[in-house]
Amino acid sequence: MEEIRSKVIKILDKYIFEKKIWDNIPEDFSLIGDLKINSARIVDIVIDIEETFDIEIDNKTLQNLKTINDIVATITAKQRK
Amino acid sequence: MKRVVITGIGIVSPTGTGKESFLYSLKNGESGIKLVPQLETLNFNCRIGGIPKTNGSLYLPLLEKYNLVHAGSTVLFALLSGLEAWDDAGLTMPEYNSSETDPETGIIIGSGIGSMDIIGDTLIPLVKQGKHRRLKSTSVEQLLFSAPGACLSGVLAAGNICTANSNACATGTEAVLMGFEYIRQGKAKRMVVGSTEGYSPYYWAAFDALRVTASNFNDSPTKGSRPMSASACGMIPACGAGILILEELEFALLREANIYAEIAGGFLNCGGQRNGGTMTAPSSEGVIRCIAGALTDANINASEIDCISGHLSSTMADPLEIRNWTIALKRQGQDFPYINSLKSMTGHCLGATGAIETIAAVLELKNRFIHPSINCEDVHPEIAGLIDINKIPAVIIENADLRYIAKTSFGFGDVNACLILKKHS
């Protein structure tokens, strides 16, 4: 789980210009609310996640990916299949 | 009507990215044409071209903030030259998070083709493979024909008109004239204008198939683009961008801006594809009418033109262009003004060419020189019969007493643009 989390954080970091935003965020941070990522970039993040973890994320699942825990849980579940 | 001056320039060209390196090549007659290995692989007739280098640009870190670093070349060239022009004009770069906009500044950035690299390299392959879901979130904004200006306005927080024009190889000169008109009419105080053309073998292929590119100089790239020469056998494709900052004279004086030159006037028209004019060939009547219209608009006589920055693309049409000039100005032989072609060094930057050549002319006026027109040691006999061949400088003419330069661009569709630039004093 920690390994997945750190890989996802590495992906998210590419979409953040103000790096100091990482210093003060909750454990289960949200992408748009806490990291201030432009909502249009979520599509790119999902593409990066799909390529990194060799999984496919359907549109319905995509809509529910709000926080880091959502993403990690989705990746873990997909990888088990 | 308001007077309009040029206060900033920015350039991405085969002969230099950035004003200083471009000026150096311009003065020294250095060609930017090189062998393009990809064109060799793809069986092109013409395997040489002019492709700018953009790595190491000072503006890449700024573009990262706006998620624009991976923009296609059409957009990227416009951004890099636009930001340079803004800096060059002594204007402050807005803060990323600032809520202020600038309602006095507008943008018109054109292109002849648009973002063909994105279409050819990413969009079509992914769609054909049924994988369009893999398209980046920026695909739509990169595909827009207005993308270069739209992306730049996001960085500059420009709040007046923001649009894109397209008029084949006259696009750049047309953009400058459109911005000029906008300020002249009092609709904006400042306009960011120019044009951009990205690199892609897909649209270069169409010119290659039309046999309008030179295929005899693949072994000697720097000799390939030879406007006005008897051995000119076609244009050399190239790409790049040129952006200029235009300002209302009083507005520029008030902020003590550096003024490169004034735009005295200009004219846009079409030959109507009659009387020798076709989709691909110019009607002399249309060209002559365009030049005459520009002189009238600038309120000057033909005798006052000191130098012509020709369209002159190293094709069979060069002698006709000179003939048209001699008729339009009623000047020939030794009375003919100096004439040069930047394309001899850069190749033909297509939609971007008018803006890049306007920048070259502006630098000539500001720095009092006439740039060489290279590869014309064998002047075309028809041209030699019309004008004194010494009017085509093989090397730089320094300390040139220039007051007016006429810049023309002609394009497919029988379209013409003529801009009259005046030394600022």
* Cα three-residue angle B369-B374-B375, rounded to 5 degrees: 165
pLDDT, one tens digit per residue, over A48-65 is 999 999 999 998 898 889
pLDDT at position B69: 80
Q: Are both B20 and B101 inside the same structural domain?
A: yes
Q: Residue B214 domain-assigned?
A: yes
Q: Are the beta carbons of B137 and A17 separated by less than 8 Å?
A: no
Domain boundary among B209, B230, B254: B254
Q: Is A44 on the interface with B (CB under 8 A)?
A: yes
Q: What is the DSSP string of B356-420?
A: HHHHHHHHHHHHT-B----S-SSB-HHHHTTB-GGGS-SS-B-S---SEEEEEEEETTTEEEEEE
Residue B152 CB-half CA count within 13 A: 38
Rounded to the nearest integer, the mean pLDDT of chain B is 97
Rounded to the nearest integer, the mean pLDDT of chain A is 91
Q: Are both B23 and B71 inside the same structural domain?
A: yes
| Residue B180 near residue B266, CB atoms below 8 Å | yes
- The catalytic residue among B46, B151, B162, B169 is B169
Q: Are the beta carbons of B136 and A17 separated by less than 8 Å?
A: no
Known catalytic residue at B380? no
Q: Flag the least confident range among B58-62, B164-168, B334-338, B388-392.
A: B58-62
Domain spanning A2-80, CATH class? mainly alpha
Whether the per-residue pLDDT at A17 is higher than 80: the answer is no
The count of other CB atoms within 10 Å of the CB of residue B56 is: 8
Cα-based torsion angle of the residue sequence B69, B357, B249, B85 in order, rounded to the nearest 10 degrees: 20
Q: Residue B99 domain-assigned?
A: yes
Q: Residue B260 domain-assigned?
A: no
Q: How confident is the model at residue B56 (pLDDT cuts 50, 70, 90)?
A: confident
Give the closest residue to B246 by CA, choosing from B168, B143, B311, B177. Answer: B177
Question: Residues of B with CB below 8 A from A41's CB?
Answer: 67, 137
The string over A3-40, giving b where at least 16 C-beta atoms fall within 10 Å of a residue's C-beta and e elsewhere, is: ebeebbeebbeebeeeeeeeeeeeeebbbeebbebeee
Q: Residue B356 domain-assigned?
A: yes
Residue of B nearest to A51 (CA): B134
Residue of B nearest to A40 (CA): B137
Q: Are both B108 and B137 inside the same structural domain?
A: yes
Q: How confident is the model at residue B123 (pLDDT cuts 50, 70, 90)?
A: very high
The string over B164-195, giving b where at least 16 C-beta atoms fall within 10 Å of a residue's C-beta and e elsewhere, is: bbbbbbbbbbbbbbbbbbbbbeeebbbbbbbb
Q: Residue B105 domain-assigned?
A: yes
The count of domains in chain B is 2
Q: Are both B215 and B358 inside the same structural domain?
A: no
Domain boundary among B225, B254, B283: B254
Using CA atoms, how far residue B196 sits from B207, B242, B247, B256, in Å, is 18, 7, 21, 29
Structure tokens at B228: 């006005």
How far is Cα B78 from Cα B194, in angstroms, rounded to an integer? 8
Q: Are the beta carbons of B67 and A38 separated by less than 8 Å?
A: yes
Q: Residue B338 domain-assigned?
A: yes
* CATH classification of the domain holding B61: 3.40.47.10
Q: How confident is the model at residue B66 (pLDDT cuts 50, 70, 90)?
A: confident
Q: Are both B39 and B184 inside the same structural domain?
A: yes
Q: How confident is the model at residue A40 (pLDDT cuts 50, 70, 90)?
A: confident
Structure tokens at A75: 């990746």
> What is the residue extent of each domain of chain A?
2-80
Residue of A nearest to B66 (CA): A17
Test the B interface: residue of A12, A15, A17 with most B CBs within 10 Å: A17
Closest Cα in chain A, distance from residue B14 (Å): 31
Test the A interface: residue of B62, B137, B139, B142 with most A CBs within 10 Å: B137
Q: Are both B270 and B247 inside the same structural domain?
A: no
Q: Is A15 on the interface with B (CB under 8 A)?
A: yes
pLDDT at position A63: 87
Question: Residues of A with CB below 8 A from B137's CB?
Answer: 40-44
Q: Are both B50 and B194 inside the same structural domain?
A: yes
Predicted complex ipTM: 0.78
Domain boundary among B198, B223, B254: B254
Q: Are both B165 and B233 inside the same structural domain?
A: yes
pLDDT at position B65: 82
- Find the mean pLDDT for residues B142-169: 97
Q: Is A32 on the interface with B (CB under 8 A)?
A: no
Q: Are both B28 and B171 inside the same structural domain?
A: yes
Q: Which residue range forms the structural domain that includes residue B391?
A: 266-423
Q: How confident is the model at residue A19 (pLDDT cuts 50, 70, 90)?
A: confident
